[in-house]
Amino acid sequence: MTVVVGVGAGRGVSARSVLGLVEVALREAGLPLSAVAELATVDSKAGEAGIVGAAARLGVPVRAYPARELALVDVPHPSDAVLAAVGTPSVAEAAALAGGGELLVPKRTSATERVTCAVARRRLLNVGHGYTGGETPEC
């Protein structure tokens, strides 16, 4: 199974903090780190050292979405504070779901750092005789 991890992080949060919360969320879903295809976030946070560093350690890219695009994604846990800060009511859940799919782990927040993450399974797209979306069908 291939998953996208949506991540939100405050300025100056370490890669270790981001990766720690990602590991907790994946463990909750019963998934290995190798299931992660990308970290996704809002474009204004895509250059944060903690997010970039966590993605590098995982060996995956960071995908950035404009806040206006994330604001269109229906999420179970919107936040007025996040809306005021970055222009979308959700970063982690919306970024995880932006490419379509199923939310496996809703927003989790670090107890000690300003980090959030959510995990979504990538949707399979049957295109002709093949599949796209970073995942092959399970038989």
Summarize pLDDT for 30-86 with one digit per residue, the tens.
999 999 999 999 999 999 999 999 999 999 999 999 999 999 999 999 999 999 999
Summarize pLDDT for 3-20 with one digit per residue, the tens.
999 999 999 999 999 999
Per-residue pLDDT at 139 exceeds 50: no
According to the model, what pLDDT value does residue 131 have?
35
Q: What is the DSSP letter of 93?
A: H
According to the model, what pLDDT value does residue 1 have?
84
Summarize pLDDT for 78-136 with one digit per residue, the tens.
999 999 999 999 999 999 999 888 999 999 999 888 999 999 998 654 444 433 444 43
